Amino acid sequence: MTSDVEITVVGGSLAGLTLALACAARGMPVRVLEQSKGHVLGGDSLTVDLSLLRAMTGHDPRLPPALPVVPAYRDLTTWPALYSWLQARVNETPTITLEGERRVLSVTDLGEGVEITFEDGKKQITPVVLGADGYRSVVRRAIAPDHPYARYAGYLVWRGLVEERTLKRPVPWPSDGGLWIEIIDGYRLVAATLPGRDGSLVPGHRQITFAWFDVHQEQLLRRTGCLTLDGHIVGSLARGMIDESVRLDLASRARAIWPELWLEAVLTGISSPETLSGAPIAEYKPEQLVRGNLAILGDAAHVISPMTGRGLLTGMEDASTLAQLLASRNPKGSFASVLSSYEQARLPFIQGLVNHSMRISAEYRRRAGG
């Protein structure tokens, strides 16, 4: 049973937009509050579960306008392609309101509802708030004020997404080759060929993604204010922020360790400040997902290493569980009891997954000597 009560989602990226579509598909109106203007910069390659996406959103990503994927052992897509696909489905759904440039400063559970305070000082009361606002979530701060931040996992990942046509020759790696993964001298490289911006899988027209894991950048993260003295992650080295001296160091190391197969793509990604980003890997194990009429999902709820390949999938599973429970709510029943069922359903699995991520990170640090 559903009602006309509007669901408020903070954060309009992959988890937030998926949740909005899943709620709308089950008859619930949704308002998404997103701090950025509409285009959010995200990662590069992503494994995606097309069947889950269809079951949740009611839109089949295999049908036109199809989501471009590389069919490897799991379907691989690019972050921008998935974001654009979700955003287009949201824009054509009249029961979803997507508000860009709406930065939420704080949320407070009032028992009978939630007070949202915006950056411009305006306030609004709403029945329920679901935080899909990422690894530095403001909704999480209200749910777990004593445990608000994710901790540094001891390494960062340099990432780039390169147009294959800008290289001297196509990368000799098949479109269905899946991920290439190698550790050399303690550095780990994950690389793959991905569909081009037009969805093409033809060599020469694809995109090349790389993720280069590096345990030696703690000083850089501290100097740039991404890492606090007590080991919490509060920032990221976004595109455009990485100094030439850092990129020259990386290029010289790349020439020493990475094989010809990926070297030109990696050097091309490093050469421009606009294609290279550096994300410190953070981990967050939640003790709770809910407080009253507030709940968190996606990276707001659990931060894990990309080496698990599970961050997005887990966020989608959170969204699926939440939407189904909200849809079964008795219109006269409270949101708090539905959210409490969500926490019971998801928390044990999520805590186990973060433990798994921490074990993978510890093993990588040990092998890398960090």
Ligand X SMILES: Cc1cc2nc3c(=O)[nH]c(=O)nc-3n(C[C@H](O)[C@H](O)[C@H](O)COP(=O)(O)OP(=O)(O)OC[C@H]3O[C@@H](n4cnc5c(N)ncnc54)[C@H](O)[C@@H]3O)c2cc1C
Binding site for ligand X (CB under 6 A): 10-16, 33-36, 40, 42-43, 46-47, 103-104, 132-135, 138, 157, 159, 211, 279, 298-299, 306, 309-313, 315
**Least distance CB 366 / ligand X (angstroms):** 21
**Least distance CB 333 / ligand X (angstroms):** 27
**Least distance CB 194 / ligand X (angstroms):** 11
Residue 278 Cα distances to 88, 245, 324, 342, angstroms: 28, 14, 36, 33
The Cα 71–Cα 155 span in angstroms is 30
**Least distance CB 169 / ligand X (angstroms):** 26
Query: Which residue, 3 or 239, has its beta carbon nearer to ligand X?
Result: 239
**Least distance CB 110 / ligand X (angstroms):** 19
**Least distance CB 331 / ligand X (angstroms):** 28
Distance of CA 166 to the CA centre of its chain: 27
For residue 129, the cross-strand partners are 8, 294
The Cα 155–Cα 214 span in angstroms is 5
Query: Which residue, 37 or 168, has its beta carbon nearer to ligand X?
Result: 37
The Cα 180–Cα 263 span in angstroms is 13
Dihedral sign of CA atoms 262, 267, 272, 276 in order: positive
For residue 47, the cross-strand partners are 76
Query: Which residue, 2 or 115, has its beta carbon nearer to ligand X?
Result: 115
Peptide bond into 65 cis (omega under 30): yes
Closest CA to 187 of 232, 217, 167, 161: 217
Closest CA to 62 of 41, 78, 46, 48: 48
State the burial class of residue 106 (Cβ atoms within 10 Å of its Cβ: 0-12, 13-18, 19+).
middle
Query: Which residue, 47 or 217, has its beta carbon nearer to ligand X?
Result: 47
Query: Which residue, 77 or 329, has its beta carbon nearer to ligand X?
Result: 77
**Least distance CB 160 / ligand X (angstroms):** 10
> Which ranges in 233-334 belong to alpha helices (H)?
244-257, 260-271, 311-327
Three-class SS state of 124: strand
**Least distance CB 138 / ligand X (angstroms):** 4
Query: Which residue, 133 or 264, has its beta carbon nearer to ligand X?
Result: 133
Query: Which residue, 33 or 153, has its beta carbon nearer to ligand X?
Result: 33
Residue 133 Cα distances to 14, 152, 185, 360, angstroms: 10, 19, 36, 25
Query: Which residue, 164 or 299, has its beta carbon nearer to ligand X?
Result: 299
**Least distance CB 1 / ligand X (angstroms):** 28
Closest CA to 76 of 243, 195, 156, 242: 195
Query: Which residue, 2 or 87, has its beta carbon nearer to ligand X?
Result: 87
Dihedral sign of CA atoms 368, 148, 115, 298 in order: positive
